[in-house]
Amino acid sequence: MQLVGFIATFLVGILGFFLFKLIRIPNPALLGSMFSTGVLSITGYYPSFPAWLVSFLANAAIGVMLGRQVDRNIARRMRELAGYVLFMGAGMIGLSLVSGYALYRMTDIPFSTAMVASSAGGITEMLAFGMSVNADLAVVAFVQLFRVVSFLALISFLPSVAGGGKERRRRTTQSALNRPAQDRFSPRHYPVLIAAALTGGYIAHVLDVPAGSMLGAMIASGACVLALGRVYRFDVRIRYAAQIGLGLVMGQRMTPAVVAQLGELFLPAFITTFVMLLGSVFLAFILHKLSRWDFVTCFLCASPAGLSQITVFAEEIGVDAFTASVFHTVRILGIVIVYPWIILAVL
């Protein structure tokens, strides 16, 4: 019955994908599946199946997508990014503290709940931390989802506003296809790649690494690239399937308890999200001036949405998804490691 429930939900997600694609909503696979399955969850018709497995496979697929960008210059690239990444991580922690304090002052929410709800960490990680400090998890889930969905919707329109999205995608695709045949994976290499990615993702997941299934799969896939000295292709249909899978998981979190918070928390959540947006634009502008990267790339690196979702957007519009993933990995790790100590010191 769980398999039937999953298939039915995935079909609903596909329906949302095609609906959003028909009405030309950007990134329809993720946003469309999230909307359509969110309706199921809100109305109480979301079937029972192991959502963690869907999340694991979707994130592992995104990790494989990123792993193909690993090369022998990885150490040099990481050194070049280090200063920018640390600056952005510190900036996002500061933005989280400002947004959390603003939410606390505007509402009757306890301090711990407000600070956890407004942090730019991962939804799963902040819900887990919220449980440890007895925070109101419905409030945490609502504010976190509101911020993530708002930023995802905004980021979807970035390429059309900034221009050049199609050209970036075309250059990225041609670069992958122009590699000589002897430099690409042969069919016998793909089972090894899949096994390595799933193993690496599962180990990182078991060790409770933030976004571990994606990061573990990325590291394992990159190791395969380095060991074999070859690159592999990543079918766009797999990317769409991964996006729909992520949409299913996010849609499941749109529960009646979260919706019940809408009337009371909508305005404070909107204001704190707007504060974080202004702060993200400011940080992106500084990063743009320091690094001379294009502003779309800088804004993706400074956006406090989900790591997996940002990575998918970066890949879709032709931005360096590996760079974006490094920024967001450090952002989430920094908040998960540092932020709880700051809150506990105040309580």
Segment 9-43, tens digit of pLDDT: 999 999 999 998 898 776 788 888 988 999 999 88
Whether residue 173 has pLDDT greater than 60 = no
CB atoms within 10 A of CB 72: 9
Distance (Å, whole) CA 280 – CA 327 = 13
Q: Which CATH number covers residue 28?
A: 1.20.1530
Domain that holds residue 94: 2-346
CB 88 within 8 A of CB 306: no
Find the range with the poorest average confidence among 93-102, 112-121, 132-141, 180-189. Answer: 180-189
Whether residue 168 has pLDDT greater than 50 = no
Rounded to two decimals, the pTM is: 0.71
CB atoms within 10 A of CB 107: 18
Beta bridge partners of 231: 184
Structural domains counted in the chain = 1
What is the maximum alpha-carbon separation in the chain? 63
Segment 264-320, tens digit of pLDDT: 888 999 999 999 999 999 999 999 999 988 888 899 899 887 777 788 778 777 777
CB atoms within 10 A of CB 337: 11
Q: How long a stretch of residues is the chain?
A: 347
